[in-house]
Amino acid sequence: MKHVYLLTLVALVFIAAFIPQNLSAQCTCSGGIPATPITYTFVLAPTIAASSTLSFPQFDPSIGDLSCVKFSDTISGVSTTGVRNLDTSAKREYTFLLTVANHISGPGVSVTQPFNKTYGPDSLDKYGLPGDTITYGPDTIFNNAKKSVNSTSVASYIGLGTVDFTYTINGGLISLEGGLNYRDQIRTDYWGHFGLTYFWCPSSPLATTITGFTATDKGKFVNLQWQAANDQNNITYEIQYSTNGTQFSPVGYKEVNSSETGTVSEFQFKYNLSASDAGTIYFRIKKTSPDGKVSYSVIKRVNLDAGATVGIQTYPNPVVNSLTLVFDEDQSGNFLVELINITGQVVQKRSITLNSSNLINLDLSPAHPSKGMYFLRARDQSHNKQYITKVMIE
CATH of residue 314's domain is: 2.60.40.3080
* CB 83 within 8 Å of CB 92: no
Q: Is the dihedral of CA 360, 361, 363, 369 positive or negative?
A: positive
The stretch 159-172 carries a mean pLDDT of 89
Which among 314, 309, 356, 311 has a CA at the least distance from the CA of 339?
A: 314
Please check the confidence at residue 319 and state whether its pLDDT lies above 60: yes
**Are residue 55 and residue 181 in the same domain, yes or no?**
yes
- 300 conformational bin, left if phi > 0, alpha if psi -120 to 50, beta if neither: beta
pLDDT computed for residue 238 by the predictor? 93
The confidence score (pLDDT) of residue 4 equals 34
Of 306, 336, 353, the position where a domain reaches its end is 306
Above pLDDT 70, what percent of the chain?
Answer: 86
Beta-carbon contacts of residue 374 (< 8 Å; ≥ 6 apart) = 339, 340, 341, 342, 347, 390, 391, 392, 393
In angstroms, the CA 184 to CA 136 distance is: 11
What is the predicted pLDDT for the residue at 82? 96
Q: Provide the pLDDT for residue 11.
A: 32
Residue 140's pLDDT band, with cuts at 50, 70 and 90, is: very high
Strand stretches in 128-181, DSSP E = 133-151, 162-177
Q: Which residue has the higher pLDDT, 248 or 209?
A: 248
HSE on the CB side for 276, CA within 13 Å?
Answer: 2
On whether both 280 and 320 belong to a single domain, the answer is no
pLDDT at 205: 67
Same domain? 130 vs 194: yes
Q: What average pLDDT does the structure give for the chain? A: 82
pTM above 0.85, yes or no: no
**Which residues pair with residue 184 across a beta bridge?**
2, 83
pLDDT digits over 69-126, tens only?
Answer: 999 999 899 999 999 999 999 999 999 999 999 889 999 899 888 999 999 999 999 9
- Residue that wins the pLDDT comparison between 197 and 9: 197
More confident site: 280 or 11: 280
196 contacts 40 by C-beta, under 8 angstroms: yes
Q: Which residues contact 59 (CB under 8 A, 6 or more apart)?
A: 38, 66, 154, 157, 158, 159, 198, 200
Mean pLDDT in residue range 171-182: 94
CA dihedral (176, 181, 182, 183) positive or negative: positive
Residues 134 and 178 in one domain: yes
pLDDT at 252: 92
Domain match, 154 and 223 both = no
Is pLDDT at 308 greater than 60 in this prediction?
no
In which band, very low, low, confident or very high, does the pLDDT at 306 lie, cut at 50, 70 and 90? low
Residue finishing a domain among 271, 306, 341: 306
- Do 163 and 68 reside in the same domain of the chain? yes
Q: What is the CATH number of the domain that holds 215?
A: 2.60.40.10
* CA distances for 329 relative to 39, 214, 357, angstroms: 29, 9, 8
The larger pLDDT score, comparing residue 184 to residue 217, is at: 184
Identify whether the C-beta of residue 327 lies closer than 8 Å to the C-beta of residue 343. no
Contact 300, 210 (CB under 8 A): no
Quick: pLDDT tens for 11-20.
333 333 333 3
Do 182 and 83 fall within a single domain?
A: yes
DSSP class of residue 193? E
Where is pLDDT greater, at 193 or 23? 193
Mean pLDDT lowest for which of 17-21, 196-200, 272-276, 280-284? 17-21
| Same domain as 302, residue 318 | no
pLDDT higher than threshold 80 for residue 23: no
222 and 266 inside one domain: yes
pLDDT at 66 > cutoff 90: no
Q: Which of 377, 298, 326 is nearest to 62 (CA)?
A: 298
Q: Which domain holds residue 392?
A: 310-394
242 with 317, same domain?
A: no
- Does residue 196 share a domain with residue 61? yes
Element (H or E) spanning 286, and its range? strand 280-288
pLDDT of residue 71: 93
pLDDT in tens, 360-390: 888 887 778 888 878 888 888 888 777 887 7
Amino acid at 139: D
Q: What is the number of structural domains in the chain? A: 3
Instruction: Say whether 21 sits in a helix, a strand or coil.
Output: coil
**254 plus 317 within the same structural domain:** no
pLDDT at residue 7, rounded to an integer = 29
User: Who wins on pLDDT, 234 or 129?
Assistant: 129
Residue 233 buriedness (CB in 10 A; 0-12 / 13-18 / 19+): middle
Domain end point (choices 253, 271, 306): 306
pLDDT greater than 70 at residue 204: no
Q: Which of 377, 373, 375 has its CA nearest to residue 394?
A: 373
